[in-house]
Amino acid sequence: MKIRFLSSLLIIALITVSCEEDNTPDIVINDNSVVNNTTTDGGNGGGDEDTADLFGFITEDTTLDPSIRYRLAAAVFVDEGATLTIPAGTVIEAEPNGVQNYIAVLRGSQIQINGTANNPVIMTSAANTPGPGDWGGLVILGQSTTNLIDPNNPDDLPTSEVGQLPYGGSIAADNSGTISYLRLEYVGGALNGTQELNGLSLYAVGSGTTINNVQVFQCSDDGIEFFGGTVNVNNLAIVGAEDDSVDWTEGYTGTITDVYVEQTLDGDSGFEMDGFNTDFQNSGGFVSRPTINNATVIGSGDNSRAFRLRAGTGGIFNNVVIEAFGRGVVVEDDTAGDITSNNIPADLQFTDVSFTGATDEFLYVDDFSNPTPPVQADVIGGSAANATGTDIATWGAGWTVGIN
């Protein structure tokens, strides 16, 4: 495999292409002029399996070997023009170095994760006693849309929260590869309140990318976050996120079909949804408006929110089961330029929703004295009797963990 170290000058050149300020410490990888494919045999042809270290840049098409147990020793970057292929059954164990240790698929590169229900790809922690935040997770940076980009200055790209890696563009159907049957364990974390890594971070990932059957298990930040983009996701399970389970911002407009959320670690919102990134501004002039089909969202019995919609986001939600959240659907008008409730009903609507254990099924939070505030019937329609959620017992069988 061609995974090599690059000089710190090249790293700095890569991570400082940005239109947004980011105070994340520079990632420095020393130039040792070697190919990083050291493999250790179990000895005498038997016993322990072979192991290999992963770190640095992947600069050409590379396929991992499922018979080798890989150690993620430091951050890995799939470079522009290269494809990293990970066959079914491959296990990658990350050293528990927090957010400095992650896999990033850079803009213009691809990842092909080819797991199966009987033989998923597993990315996990190498710690003896693993826990949330042991490593940073998987980051994919595409060339699709984000409303951080000013259409009058399209070459001035935003960068990721950790690593300052550029992303975004105008290719709605951009293809960053395929992910099928992947389990991400003990992931996520933060350098501070604005520089975070999620279990799966999708930066302007395009609709040409295929993402099916993904679980994030025990995450120190959000389970999955969409930073703009148009990618569709099918069969998504988030169990044990310490912050939000599903998060979007920056004008995400894809479709998520069959999503299961279980907040076993007293997380924040099941879904936290923003129309744009309020740390900056809506330069592109559009907001998030995805579609969610078949969702089961289970809280931990406290006063957290199942669905929190703010910063002008839209969203179409069909067939939703909400259990053990004190607050069900919360609509917030919190930004003057992008009023969330203005999307009701055409671009913000829930259909066929059931509530179990909710103190407040619907809440409206108004910072602008709306003379005609929306009520529950404006936002939630259909029939609770039609709400079945997602059938996690069927599509999650055999490859997911920790589901009650």
Does residue 151 belong to any structural domain of this protein?
yes
Q: Are residues 266 and 393 in the same domain?
A: yes
Tell me how far apart the alpha carbons of residues 67 and 63 are, in angstroms, rounded to a whole number. Answer: 12
At 76, the amino acid letter reads V
Read off the pLDDT of residues 306-350 as tens digits, 9 standing for 90 and up.
Answer: 999 999 999 999 999 999 999 999 999 999 989 999 999 999 999
Q: Does the residue 229 lie in any domain?
A: yes
Flag residues of the chain having pLDDT under 70. 1-49, 193-194
Residue 236 sits in the same domain as residue 132: yes
Same domain, residue pair 72 and 129: yes
Does 9 reside within a domain?
Answer: yes
pLDDT at 8: 31
Q: What are 339's strand-pairing partners?
A: none
Are 36 and 123 in the same domain?
Answer: yes
* pLDDT reported for residue 193: 66
Query: Is 350 part of any domain?
Result: yes
pLDDT at res. 154: 96
Does 65 lie in the same domain as 42? Answer: yes
Q: Are residues 265 and 360 in the same domain?
A: yes
Are residues 201 and 68 located together in one domain of the fold?
yes
Q: Which of 243, 277, 308 is the last residue of a domain?
A: 243
Which amino acid does the sequence have at 345?
A: P
- Quote the pLDDT of residue 23: 34
| Alpha-carbon distance values, 246 to 128, 302, 382, 404 (Å) | 28, 18, 24, 19
Residues 318 and 359 in one domain: yes
Domain shared by 225 and 105, yes or no: yes
What pLDDT does residue 48 have? Answer: 55
Query: Do residues 124 and 186 lie in contact, with contact meaning Cβ atoms separated by under 8 Å?
Result: yes
In Å, what is the CA distance from 245 to each residue of 232, 292, 321? 17, 14, 15
Residue ranges making up the domain that contains 53: 1-243
In a domain, 249, yes or no: no
Q: What pLDDT is stored for residue 333 in this prediction? A: 97
DSSP conformation letters of 93-156: EE-S-BTTS-EEE-TT-EEEEE--SSS-EEEEE--SS--TTSB--EEEE-SS--TTS-TTSTTS
Q: Which pLDDT score is estimated for 28?
A: 34
Q: 62 and 198: one domain?
A: yes
The structural domain count of the chain equals 2
- Buried/exposed 279-309: b ≥16 CB within 10 Å, e otherwise: eeebbbebbbbbebbbbbbbbeeeebbbbbb
Q: Is residue 248 part of a domain?
A: no
Same domain, 219 and 319: no
What's the pTM?
Answer: 0.90
Domain boundary among 214, 243, 272: 243
> H or E stretch including 233?
strand 232-241
- Domain check: are 21 and 151 in the same one? yes
Question: Per the structure block, which two tokens stand in for 281?
Answer: 């501004």
In 3D, which of 225, 227, 151, 141 has the Cα closest to residue 177? 141
